[in-house]
Amino acid sequence: MTVEQGIFLFISFLILFSGFMMVTRSNLVHAALYLILVLFGVAVLFVLLNAGFLAVVQIIVYIGAIAILMIFAVMLTRGDVTGEAITMNSVFGWGMLLSSLFGFALIIMLGQWPAVTSLAPALPTGWNELVEIGVAFLSPQGFVIPFEVASVLLLAALIGALYVARAPKKGE
Amino acid sequence: MPLSWYLYLAAGLFALGLFGAVARKNAVAILMSVELMLNAVNINIVAFWRYLAPAEIGGQIFAIMVFAVAAAEVAVGLALFISIYNSRKTIAADEINLMKW
């Protein structure tokens, strides 16, 4: 077993364990901390896949922004479900059945696909990931329109979130 | 290591996220489970890019788009939950029946 495989096995165990703990904890702050562990493990996988820029974006955007926003929301809506003994709703059993069936079906289907055992080809020589991403995002032959649409989407989400979460005015 | 390792891991992570999204009671926990599913998809996207088309950057671009959409979704979702909590003092998903027919 190579070092890379050892790292992969350790990280995948970490991801699956933390994911399981995340969906079963009743204390939501603990669940959010396990979510951060999962996100960190995924960043390590990105590094293993030669996508270092994505790993940095994963840490900044997911751990730095989204997970912290989750913790804010947990604390702002505290004293309700948090810490309660029952964290699952009444269709708990159906959810377990559905998700395990789905997972096993995915694994069986993957086993029948021939390309699944392929190994990673070498990256092209002179490959510079940041230059490639920058050119792809800003050239008209590339992804400039999705890039602009994503910025409009983020602006709309920002304004929408402000509007929805504002303090209600008097008489409303 | 073969591509299958990443795909099996992503399948397991997606199933965990699906379980959380279906079975959790708290709405914030449901949103966290959706994040798990998005991360499983991102692992798949980047693994496919690396193993099947490493010369084209498009695979990574799709992963970055998923980041942007996830950030927007979380911002709007959490604003909705805080607003619901202010008016109804609960964010248990099976008690928010305002729009139930």
Flag whether pLDDT at A65 surpasses 70. Answer: yes
Query: Quick one: pLDDT at residue B91?
Result: 81
Q: pTM score, two decimals?
A: 0.89
Residue A40 has pLDDT above 90, yes or no: yes
Task: Give which of B10, B35, B55 is closest to A106, Cα–Cα.
Answer: B10
Which residues of A fall within a CB distance of 8 Å from B47?
49
**Average pLDDT estimate for A100-113:** 91
Which of A45, A66, A102 has its CB closest to that of B35? A66
The residues facing B26 across adjacent strands are: B92
| φ, ψ at B64 (rounded to 5°) | -65, -35
Sign of CA dihedral A66, A69, A75, A78: negative
- Selecting from A8, A77, A123 the residue whose C-beta is nearest the C-beta of B82 gives A77
pLDDT value for B95: 79
Q: What is the DSSP letter of A128?
A: -
| Chain B residues within 8 A of A50 when measuring between CB atoms | 50, 54
Distance CA B65, CA B73 (A): 12
pLDDT digits (tens, 9 = 90+) for B18-75: 999 998 888 889 999 999 999 999 999 999 999 988 888 888 999 999 999 999 999 9
Q: For B43-90, give the DSSP string.
A: HHHHHHHHHH-TT-THHHHHHHHHHHHHHHHHHHHHHHHHHHHHHHS-
**Cβ contact (<8 Å) for B72 and A156?**
yes
Considering only residues 31 to 60 of chain B, which have any Cβ-Cβ distance to chain A shorter than 8 Å? 31-33, 35-36, 39, 42-43, 46-47, 49-52, 54-55, 57-58, 60
Q: What is the pLDDT averaged over residues A91-110?
A: 91
Q: What one-letter code names the amino acid at B72?
A: A
ipTM of the complex as predicted? 0.91
Structure-block tokens of residue A127:
């490959």
What SS3 class is residue A88? strand
Query: How far does CA A146 lie from the centroid of its chain?
Result: 20
Within 8 A by CB and 6+ apart from B49, the residues are: A49, A51, B56, B58, B59, B60, B63
Alpha carbons A62 and A101: distance in angstroms, whole number: 29
Mean pLDDT calculated for residue range A32-37: 94
Taking the alpha carbons of A32, A34, A40, A46 in that order, is the dihedral positive or negative? negative
pLDDT recorded at residue A83 = 53
Looking at the complex, does the CB of residue A152 fall below 8 Å from at least one CB of chain B?
Answer: no
| Contact between chains at A15 and B5 (C-beta distance less than 8 A) | no
Q: Can you give the pLDDT at residue B44?
A: 94
Say yes or no for a CB contact (<8 Å) between B92 and A80: yes
Do B22 and A98 lie within an 8 Å CB cutoff?
Answer: yes
CB contact under 8 Å between A158 and B85, yes or no, is: no
In this predicted structure, the answer to whether residue A35 has a pLDDT above a threshold of 90 is: yes
Helical packing angle, A67-76 and A28-48, nearest 10°: 170
- Residue A161 has phi, psi (to 5 degrees) of -65, -40
The helix (run of H) or strand (run of E) holding residue A133 is helix A129-138
Q: Are A66 and B74 in contact (CB under 8 A)?
A: yes
Look at A80-84, A128-132, B61-65, B96-100 and tell me which has the smallest mean pLDDT. Answer: A80-84
- Please report the pLDDT score of residue B59 as a whole number: 87
